[in-house]
Amino acid sequence: MPQKPDTSAVTAGRDDSRSLAPALWPSTVWETANMDDATARATGMRSETFYSRYANPTVTQFERAIATLEQAESALAFSSGMGAISSVVLALCSKGSHVVAQNNLYGATLSFLQGPCARFGIETTFVDPSVPGAFEAAVIPGRTALVVAETPSNPRLGITDLAELGRIKGPFSVVDSTLATPLGQRPLDFGVDLVLHSATKGLGGHNDALLGVVAGERDLIDAVWGYAVMHGAIASPHDALNGLRGIKTLAVRLNHQNVSTLRIARRLESHAAVERVWHPFLDSHPQTGLARGQMRLGGTMLSVELKGGIDACRKFLSALSLARVATSFGGPETLVCHPATSTHVGLSVEALAAMGVTDSLVRFSVGLEDPEDLCAEIEVALS
């Protein structure tokens, strides 16, 4: 029978062993029966019992779980979110290819496109995703190989129109949906070709699994796999096991964290020390209508512009204890960071300005603590 997303998070990714817990296959290599068997496994598509750079049974379970949650034909896991995006770009692009990307991507993705990709002869045109039609207008027919988007964006939580991306003909489209997770939105439902996650974040959910994953049509995922085997950014079965565990509790974690995040965001909007609060489901967000139309949940992250600039941010972060100063997100602990001096420190002044990353911006990843305890500490720290 059809299942709701919250149920699928519990049931997805199981094998035929009837074990309620997934099995860990730590082996890097399997014995073959003879030369012909070895050749068949070496030339087969994603052979699970050959060499773990090709595939691994535990990792395959994780991939199947993601494919189920995204309602995709297939998925492919990597050792990190950057392993996923770099493999996708390099699998689908070559020297002379053209990429269209939004200008407020995750900092490392932006650096990858501006650095190694440019060096390899892959040209990128950056567009403002809030401008209707900007992606399609930048596509060069016959040359643009890939359209890259991220929604919500990190850290200002801008929203990109998924339906607009899905209507673009010619290049493949890939959406980084890390902040939303598959329970928050499903870009493939809007006609997008590939959806990508840093599963290190909300999907893993416990700050103990370094993973990336991409999902989409089987033929396209297999094409990416053909390059990924050479690239070598392969997911560890140990991390895949932790990722599977995280997926099983994804729904209950997200439901609590989303309620807490919106509650804290609304409280902060009225605080005298706060200039502005960014969260997709706040009425003050300029794209809240679009966000509510394509997202099931608003997400576990919010960003705040503090009055007083970088000095105010430094004092605020120094006054926190329940909330931890750290750069990741999606875990059980509430984490706070100053993007301009941490997650986005390597970007140019121009790139930071285009993304809206100012010295006054503070990013929150809201965890599983009681929101009243968090609000109390935040209000004390702001004062």
Q: CB of 172 within 8 A of CB of 191?
A: no
Catalytic residue among 46, 186, 201, 248: 201
Contact 89/112 with Cβ under 8 angstroms?
A: yes
32 exposure class (CB count in 10 Å sphere: 0-12, 13-18, 19+): middle
Active site residue 53: yes
CB 205 within 8 A of CB 250: yes
The yes-or-no answer on residue 176 being catalytic is: yes
Non-local (6+) Cβ contacts of 21 within 8 A are none
Which of 53, 156, 276, 292 is the catalytic position? 53
- In angstroms, what CA-CA distances link 143 with 36, 95, 115, 129, 191? 42, 11, 20, 21, 21
The helix-helix angle for 250-269 and 371-382 (nearest 10°) equals 40
> Are 212 and 199 in contact, with CB atoms under 8 Å apart?
yes
b/e map 129-152, b = 16+ CB within 10 Å = bbeeebbbebbeeeebbbbbbbbb
Residue in 41, 46, 54, 176 annotated catalytic: 176
Residue 106 bears catalytic tag: yes
**Cα(19)–Cα(42) distance, integer angstroms:** 29
Q: Indicate which residue of 106, 161, 248, 363 is catalytic.
A: 106
Q: Which residues are catalytic?
A: 53, 106, 176, 201
